[in-house]
Amino acid sequence: MKRTLYLVFIALLFAAACKKSSTADNNQIETGTPATTLPAGTKQGVTFLNNGTSAIITLYAPLKTSVVVLGDFNNWQSTAAYQMKLAADGNTWWVQIDNLNPDTEYAYQFLVDGNLKVADPYCEKILDPVNDAGIDAATYPGLKAYPTGKTTGDVSVMQANQPVYNWKYTSFTRPEKNNLVIYELLIRDFTTVHSYAGALEKLDYLKNLGINAIELMPVAEFDENINWGYTPNFAFAPDKYYGTKTALQHFIDECHGKGIAVIMDIVLNHAYGKSPMVQLYFDQTAQKTTASNPWFNTDATHIYNVGYDFNHESAATKSYSKNVMKHWMEQYKIDGFRFDLAKGFTQRKTTTDAALSAYDASRVAIWKEYNNYIKSIDANNFYVILEDFVAADEEKVLADEGMMLWNNLNYTMNQATMGYWSTDSDFSWAFYTNHGFSKSESIVNYAESHDEERLNYKNITYGNASGSYVIKGNLAASLKREELAAAFLFSIPGPKMIWQFGELGYDISIDYNGRLGLKPVHWEYFDDTNRKALYTAYAKFINLKKNNSIFNSASSAHSLDGAVKYIKLTEGSNVVVVVGNFDVVSHNAAIDFGSAGTWIDAAGGNVTLASATYQAVLAPGEYHVFSKVALK
């Protein structure tokens, strides 16, 4: 009996010694870490403490067995001292790092389950071992070097005392939705230096044009450098190819100083393969996200998806998306979001556009929830614009909630500018009443966006002709056709959008150098007499729209299906009639103006009518903007 007790005692001592030895070994990584309490005030990503000398780093990673943080602070070594603890929710890993210098940038990653290295999905800056080499020092001064030889893949960067931008214009009043004239802009192709600083130098050009909002194509970290931005990976980090965080903040601030709102094109339908959230739950054999992924569908639910498809019915995805929105609203004072591929926010599986576009109650609920969340942060006329293109009954519900819908007029307007008026040139879909909407502010009309062929490229390449009137190959004539279309576009009630350099008749194909490839930057266009005339006409139409409330009148009539098209707006004692001939031959116009008398032409001159009917022979491309009372 004594011998048995002695053996048991020895065994217990041995087990205790083994446990003590394991605890003392700093290189021993345990799995199945027991749940702990996440410190109060901790947020997703990095939370700095003690004046920046300590940081709590978190990672949302359900079902994982171990996570270790690697970085500059531990020479990229996996040790028990940097093993992350599992919070009581069973999903969130966290660790506190001490003895940090608040003024130092620290690179770091997560080592998950001993074999996968990923960056922090909530980080505000990454270092890329491949693409950072293509970022010049003038665009991003003092970029931290990648820790070559110490790790692989993208790494996160954290710093307690980041450079702080001091905002100058803190009382900016956003333009009313009805009066928005948006300029869609790709930083990469707007100036040869492809930076916020370069775009900043052109703000007076845009202000003189009359635009009052800039819509930036996606600026959050995306694949490679030469990209449109619709391949996102780190939604909280501005892409370094365009400049620093403070450079972007400075650009937005200076826009506000000139009365220009800034709208961010945001991509939350999908992410690409460098996203940590994709990598954390990914089947390398099938090249798909796994069924256990908290954010993504294994297979996309719709035909338009690219990358990996977010599941917006998932609580994890909703939380992440809301955090992304809040971040840009608060850190960058963004005035609005244009949500890319908004119709893709659905879990209903479809294989055709018609099925995808049909009314979807779940999609409506998702957009209402996101819209209400945005309002809870900023209810001061913040713009929520959806690239939706769904059924009219669904769009009406969204419009009634205050959201704005993209409205593509590219094909029909281009048919008209090319002179092919008899085939699909009716752009009456531009009128909100034809959508069943109650407010004109609900649709953002445009003839060009980043996604469509440039109007003037098609004018010059395919334009119609009759006798001596030739559009094809004729720059002067093709630009006048652009002017004709602009007179109509800006006279239609509601917000408008133009694509960069459309006001100069940019005529380089969207497919030049590949659809997503670099496009030539032609600022010398502004020195060309004919192109400058188009810019001047745009400025005139834009300012007429902004300065005269009749261009937002709820009382309107139009006829846009013939060669001679017109729009008639009425407000009080004033009437505006825009009339133009979109054919390549002359046409008789006979239009009821409503009253006789003298009518003032904003394009120059006036006309006196003996009766209420305007009758004239309009030459090809001829247009007028008549009003009963002089416009401002």
**Domains plus CATH for the chain?**
35-158 (2.60.40.10), 177-550 (3.20.20.80), 557-627 (2.60.40.1180)
pLDDT band with cut points at 50, 70 and 90 for residue 29 = low
Per-residue pLDDT at 15 exceeds 60: no
Q: What pLDDT shows up at residue 30?
A: 63
As beta bridge partners, residue 587 has 618
Per-residue pLDDT at 364 exceeds 70: yes
Q: Strand 213-216 and strand 181-185: pairing?
A: parallel
pLDDT band with cut points at 50, 70 and 90 for residue 604 = confident
6 or 186, greater pLDDT: 186
Separation between Cα atoms, residue 53 and residue 57, nearest integer Å = 13
Per-residue pLDDT at 238 exceeds 50: yes
Per-residue pLDDT at 14 exceeds 50: no
Lowest model confidence (mean pLDDT) among 14-18, 219-223, 255-259 = 14-18
Per-residue pLDDT at 34 exceeds 90: no
> Which residue in this structure is represented by tokens 């790709």?
186
Separation between Cα atoms, residue 366 and residue 346, nearest integer Å = 8
289 or 32, greater pLDDT: 289
Q: What pLDDT shows up at residue 55?
A: 98
Kindly compute the dihedral angle of the four CA atoms of residues 352, 356, 357, 361, in this order, to the nearest 10 degrees: 160
Q: Are 556 and 567 in contact (CB under 8 A)?
A: yes
Lowest model confidence (mean pLDDT) among 4-8, 191-195, 209-213, 627-631 = 4-8
Residue ranges with strand state E in 61-146: 67-71, 85-87, 92-97, 106-112, 116-118, 126-127
Per-residue pLDDT at 100 exceeds 90: yes
pLDDT band with cut points at 50, 70 and 90 for residue 206 = very high
As beta bridge partners, residue 386 has 339, 405
Give how far Cα 125 sits from Cα of 162, 238, 403, Å. Answer: 11, 7, 31
Average pLDDT, the chain: 95
Interval 465-487: pLDDT, tens: 999 999 999 999 999 999 999 99
203 CB burial (10 A radius; 0-12, 13-18, 19+): middle
> Which residue in this structure is represented by tokens 């261009």?
551
pLDDT band with cut points at 50, 70 and 90 for residue 27 = low
Q: Are 247 and 193 in contact (CB under 8 A)?
A: no
Q: What pLDDT shows up at residue 28?
A: 56
pLDDT band with cut points at 50, 70 and 90 for residue 12 = very low
pLDDT band with cut points at 50, 70 and 90 for residue 603 = confident
Q: Are 510 and 454 in contact (CB under 8 A)?
A: yes
Average pLDDT over residues 220-245: 98
Per-residue pLDDT at 175 exceeds 80: yes
Interval 547-571: pLDDT, tens: 999 999 999 999 999 999 999 999 9
Q: Strand 443-446 and strand 465-466: pairing?
A: unpaired
Interval 306-343: pLDDT, tens: 999 999 999 999 999 999 999 999 999 999 999 999 99
Question: Percentage of residues in the chain with pLDDT exceeding 70?
Answer: 95
Interval 115-145: pLDDT, tens: 999 999 999 999 999 999 999 999 999 999 9
Separation between Cα atoms, residue 504 and residue 528, nearest integer Å = 9
Per-residue pLDDT at 402 exceeds 80: yes
Measured at the alpha carbon of residue 355, what is the angle toward residues 349 and 360, in degrees to the nearest 5?
75
Per-residue pLDDT at 213 exceeds 50: yes
